Amino acid sequence: MRGLRATGHVFHVPLDHADPSSGTIEVFAREYSSLDHSTEAVAHLPWLLFLQGGPGGRGARTTQLTGWMKAAARRFRILMLDQRGTGLSTPADAATLASLASPEAQTAYLSHFRADSIVADAELIRSSLGSPPWAVFGQSYGGFCTLTYLSFAPEGMDRALITGGLAPLTGHPDQVYRATFARVEERNREYFSWYPEDRDLLTRIMRHLDDIEEYLPSGERLTARRLQLIGSYLGGNTRVHGLHYLLEDAFTSTPSGPRLSATFLEQVAGPVSRASQPLYALLHESIYCQGAASAWSAQRVLAEYPQFREDAAEPLLTGEMVYPWYFEEDPALRPLRAVAELLAARDDWGPLYDTAVLAENTVPVAAAVYRHDIYVDRGLSLATAGAVRHLQVWETDEFHHDGIADDGEAILERLLSMTDSRNADAAITPDP
């Protein structure tokens, strides 16, 4: 492809790394390298493992080296992992889970799809490739996985780079949702200050959905609370402005009165569905759980923020929160409702981090903390940064959660330079 070579790899890994008799699944990874390097030269480049956001997101597919990948390919072979259950790895979705005998069996199976298992996969893959300790770059949930890597297999890492992904090391998911509801409200207010006409328009659309049945192209009804999921636009630097273009397409005139336009309904279909990422809905709250049940944390915490209710006078858009009614309204999730309930009730989740190991960490770590990130709270991120030895923070208000989509090349170069220095003392380096 243009300026790059791509090679697919398939690895067979245990479902349960603690029990090899549990059977195996496949994990797919794609290797990217620059044509600026000869085939012979590439074979001698160090590896950089990229762990993408999620949970439940597959590795990026690219046809040319741009952004952070352009910067990385100057120095590394990039390994883009389809984390277990995603992409070309053995899938975990309604169709494949149906082969298991019961929701309880499905729950036991999915308990092996969190960060600890992803890290164990990565170490097996590193060994299979014959790589010495490698660089690991984690974006968002990939950053959570990177902290797990630092906790349980630091010997496999040469350096760690994290963007928008410093998870809280302890505590219940409730703390996460209290922080993110506040951040999302702040971002709503900011958005409506730019586009004040959209405040009344959004309320009008939601009240219209209460009174008139409107259907997505896939055939299911669009409800007001499901429409609130378009708040995912709020997490981006430039993507946030795409929300205005989406909303301006909302209504069309018909002989029977205003209806939602086909253009609007087509555009909304993607952001309000988890058809392509069922693991996101199933496992999202569990990524914060250690020894406690989430018990539908976001739904419970929502009661403290009535401004997010769909029947509020001026309802706000939500962020990435997952609610139990997802599994009623999204056809792709309905077959998974029973297992979702069991996962929410599960209270024996194992540890994802070892705070004692992190406090003595020797791997150079550089993390970008986005001051106004609506998904990974700044305060919680800085608390985590202070608990990891040799972790340097670059705090900035220039980017939001998807910063690497805006200027990934500059962001990665900065983080690489911070770890190149091998600075022995953790430091916080905010922008001026």
Q: What does the alpha-carbon distance between residue 200 and residue 314 come to, in Å, rounded to a whole number?
A: 8
Tokens of 2: 């243009």
| Active site residue ranges | 140, 348, 401
Which pLDDT score is estimated for 426? 42
The DSSP bridge pattern shows strands 365-370 and 47-51 to be unpaired
Q: For residue 373, how many other CB atoms are within 10 A of its CB?
A: 26
Phi-psi region of 431 (alpha: psi -120 to 50; beta: other; left: phi over 0): beta
Task: Say how many Å lie between the first and final Cα of the chain, rounded.
Answer: 40
Amino acid 423: pLDDT = 44
CATH 3.40.50.1820 in the chain, residue ranges: 4-168+353-420
Tell me if the pTM is above 0.85.
Answer: yes
For residue 422, the model assigns a pLDDT of 57
- pLDDT tens across the length of the chain (432 residues): 889 999 999 999 999 999 989 999 999 999 999 999 999 999 999 999 999 999 999 999 999 999 999 999 999 999 999 999 999 999 999 999 999 999 999 999 999 999 999 999 999 999 999 999 999 999 999 999 999 999 999 999 999 999 999 999 999 999 999 999 999 999 999 999 999 999 999 999 999 999 999 999 999 999 999 999 999 999 988 889 999 999 999 999 999 999 999 999 999 999 999 988 999 999 999 999 999 999 999 999 999 999 999 999 999 999 789 999 999 999 999 999 999 999 999 999 999 999 999 999 999 999 999 999 999 999 999 999 999 999 999 999 999 999 999 999 999 999 999 999 754 344 445 554
The three-state DSSP-derived secondary structure of 74-98 is CCCEEEEEECCECCCCCECCHHHHC
Rounded Cα distance between 169 and 119, Å, is: 16
Right CATH number for 4-168+353-420 from 2.60.40.10, 3.40.640.10, 3.40.50.1820, 3.30.930.10?
3.40.50.1820
pLDDT of residue 83: 97
- SS3 letters for 278-314? HHHHHHCHHHHCCCCCCCCHHHHHHCCCHHHCCCCCC
Reduced to 3 states, what is the DSSP secondary structure of residue 140?
Answer: coil
Contact by Cβ (8 Å): 345, 295: yes
What whole-number distance in Å separates Cα of residue 250 and Cα of residue 198?
A: 11
